[in-house]
Amino acid sequence: MIASQPVLRLTDVTKKYTMGDIVVPALNGVSLEVHEGEMLAIMGPSGSGKSTLMNILGCLDQPTAGEYWLAGDLVSSLNDQELATVRNRQIGFVFQSFNLLRRTTALNNVELPLRYGGKAAQGTGLAKAALERVGLGHRLKHHSTELSGGEQQRVSIARALVMSPSIILADEPTGNLDTRTSHEIMALLQELNRDDGVLVIVVTHEKDISEHCERVISIRDGEVVSDEPVANRRWAMQTQAGGAIWA
């Protein structure tokens, strides 16, 4: 059920970067709303502005003009400490390159947000539960270099989940994975969206990945060119072994 008030709302958002005497437009008047419990994809070719849009949604960057409202707060009115708190507690980030500490165990990687979020005392228990949630309860003590790409991305998802965020932003989460593992990761994100009610936003350039979502926003030249529901959504169920069964 879509909530009456959007969790994320962008109104006529523009983003421009200045490179010497040259002004490069990245977003040109983007307006959109995202509601609680949605799972959507942002698609577009390289240079379309989709990563810039993701950075703004994740409070990693600010618009040049326009308004971004997150959970009722005007983001431009928040100070640096407030923005850091939003990123730590409300938003979980998943990246294409995993961004794990290589010589650190899966458990310690997942504990990091808890240390920054003032929950260090609960760290081990919460991190272990998050890793079990993504099917890696048996790999707690393994270092990142000892894990497959799919396992590393699961650790990344566990790290994104450990602070119990209401939003997960996944920037090309399957870009470094093979086809089968990509669909398993998308099945996991579907499960988190469906069972835990987490709002999931996936940036991707792959159509088959976007079909796991319920809605696709297409970006080109910094503008939204389409915003449509997915007609034939791909569904999957996670198995205890961490694989996916297509329904």
pLDDT digits 0-9 by tens, 20-73: 899 999 999 999 999 999 999 999 998 999 999 999 999 999 999 999 999 999
Cβ-based neighbour number of residue 196 at 10 Å? 14
pLDDT in the model for residue 243: 52
pLDDT of residue 247: 44
Computed over every residue of the chain, the mean pLDDT equals: 90
- Residue 141 pLDDT greater than 50, yes or no: yes
Q: What is the pLDDT of residue 116?
A: 78
pLDDT band at 166, cuts 50/70/90? very high
- 4: confidence class by pLDDT, cuts 50, 70, 90: low
* Out of 62-66, 175-179, 221-225, least confident range: 175-179
The single residue listed with the structure tokens 């070719």 is 45
Tell me if 117 sits within 8 A of 55, measured CB to CB: no
How far is residue 83 from each of residues 75, 114, 209, 245, measured CA to CA in Å?
8, 17, 30, 39
Contact present, 63 and 118 (Cβ < 8 Å)? no
Per-residue confidence (pLDDT) for residue 241, from 0 to 100: 46
What's the pLDDT tens digit per position in 82-137?
A: 999 999 999 999 999 999 998 899 999 999 999 877 776 677 899 999 999 999 99
Which run of H or of E encompasses 195? Answer: helix 179-196
